[in-house]
Amino acid sequence: MAFIEASAVSKSFGTGPSARHVLHDVTLEVERGEFVSIVGFMGCGKSTLLNIITGLVPADAGEVRLGGDLVRGISQGAAIVFQNYSLLPWFSALENVRLAVAAAFPAWPRGRQADHARRYLEKIGLGSALHRRPSQLSGGMRQRVAIARAFATEPTILFLDEPFGALDALTRANLQQDLAQLCSSAERQVTTIMITNSVEEALLLSDRIVPMTRAPRATLGRPVGVAMARPRTAAQLLHDEDAVRVRTHVVESLTASVHRAPRLPPLIKSEASDASDTPLIAVPDRTEA
Ligand SMILES: Nc1ncnc2c1ncn2[C@@H]1O[C@H](COP(=O)(O)OP(=O)(O)OP(=O)(O)O)[C@@H](O)[C@H]1O
Ligand SMILES: [Mg+2]
């Protein structure tokens, strides 16, 4: 049995004609120590799936097991980095991280918790911003705090929900490299599931990439392994033959899931339409041909 196993997970929101069937029969297996990325379109249900795997949201059908045990709530040893930083606005960067350390290591004296928090903030390049509050930090710095907070709890399982989605391309590239370094230098073996909409980001960080089909009734496609040793650099991946094969597989799987869409997607998004119904690539409905 794999370390993390999601079996036949389905999830809908609402009832009756307004019901939204988001996930359909999703199955995923992640081995201990593996870094797995799930890549999918905007609004396809990625956060919903991650929230079910973490135990934050219950599934309607199917189950999630961690180390063989059914997941019911956030597991000990798991840390989550959310899409939108989720820092406490009235506390400094240091205090935000220390509070997480205090929750993970309640027996430590406050001074030791603060030293530990400071060490992780310094590791991720925030040594000079320890006492600033989130509103006094840039988006990239806030996300660095969120990453330091996750790593400072010394997790054995790390859940990342589009950790760099809100950042500009340059900041994103810097943070991806820092995360790659942190993952490979972690003192304990960390099992990671990352949600992303970027194939390149998944290639840089993952052992395995799983494409997710578009909404509604999204499910996972065939996973593909990335052979190159970690940590990797973007430059290494540019011309690597295996990376080209993986990139092609993921992009083709995502595109195929759009082509299988049963109805004509709007080319111009109407006010009434929902983001999850609008594919990134608009294609004509083949069934009408
Ligand atoms: N609590 C909820 N109640 C009702 N609908 C919800 C709820 N959570 C998510 N949804 C709907 O489920 C669908 C998938 O949402 P989700 O946030 O999982 O997508 P996502 O792939 O993470 O999107 P994004 O790429 O924007 O982060 C969306 O249509 C969303 O409106
Ligand atoms: Mg999301």
What letter would DSSP give residue 196?
E
Does 242 fall in a domain?
yes
Spatial distance between the Cα atoms of 210 and 51, rounded to a whole number of angstroms: 17
Does 270 fall in a domain?
yes
Question: Is residue 175 a contact partner of residue 167, using CB atoms and an 8 Å limit?
Answer: yes
Global pTM reads 0.88
Q: Residue 223 maps to which CATH number?
A: 3.40.50.300
Question: Is residue 97 a contact partner of residue 148, using CB atoms and an 8 Å limit?
Answer: yes
Does 227 fall in a domain?
yes
Element (H, E) at 65: strand 61-66
For ligand 1, is residue 46 a contact (CB within 6 Å)? yes
Residue-level pLDDT at 272? 39
Tokens of 168: 């500009």
Does 120 fall in a domain?
no
What is the residue-level pLDDT of the chain in tens, covering all 289 positions? 899 999 999 999 998 888 999 999 999 999 999 999 999 999 999 999 999 999 999 999 999 999 999 998 888 899 999 888 789 999 999 999 999 999 999 999 999 999 999 999 998 999 999 999 999 999 889 999 999 999 999 999 999 999 988 888 888 888 898 888 888 777 778 999 999 999 999 999 999 999 999 989 999 999 999 999 988 988 999 889 999 999 999 999 998 877 665 554 554 444 434 444 433 333 333 333 2
Q: 67 burial class (0-12, 13-18, 19+ CB within 10 angstroms)? A: middle
Residue-level pLDDT at 283? 32
Domain holding 219, by residue range, is: 4-77+155-288
Does 228 fall in a domain?
yes
Which atom of ligand 1 is closest in space to residue 48's alpha carbon? Answer: 18
Does 161 fall in a domain?
yes
How much helix, strand and coil, in percent to the nearest 5, is found in the chain? 40, 20, 40
For ligand 1, is residue 19 a contact (CB within 6 Å)? no
Tokens of 67: 């180390």
Which atom of ligand 1 is closest in space to residue 50's alpha carbon? Answer: 18
Does 83 fall in a domain?
no
Spatial distance between the Cα atoms of 31 and 118, rounded to a whole number of angstroms: 31
Chain center to CA of 130: 26
For ligand 1, is residue 208 a contact (CB within 6 Å)? no
Spatial distance between the Cα atoms of 52 and 26, rounded to a whole number of angstroms: 11
Ligand nearest to the CA of 14: 1
Spatial distance between the Cα atoms of 202 and 193, rounded to a whole number of angstroms: 10
Residue-level pLDDT at 6? 97
Spatial distance between the Cα atoms of 177 and 204, rounded to a whole number of angstroms: 8
Instruction: Tell me which residue has tokens 């295996």.
Output: 242
Nearest CA to ligand 1 atom 16: 45
Question: Is residue 214 a contact partner of residue 39, using CB atoms and an 8 Å limit?
Answer: no
Please tell me the distance between residue 196's alpha carbon and the centre of ligand 1 in angstroms.
14
Number of domains in the chain: 1
Does 84 fall in a domain?
no
Residue-level pLDDT at 34? 95
Residue-level pLDDT at 57? 95
Residue-level pLDDT at 261? 57
Residue-level pLDDT at 289? 28
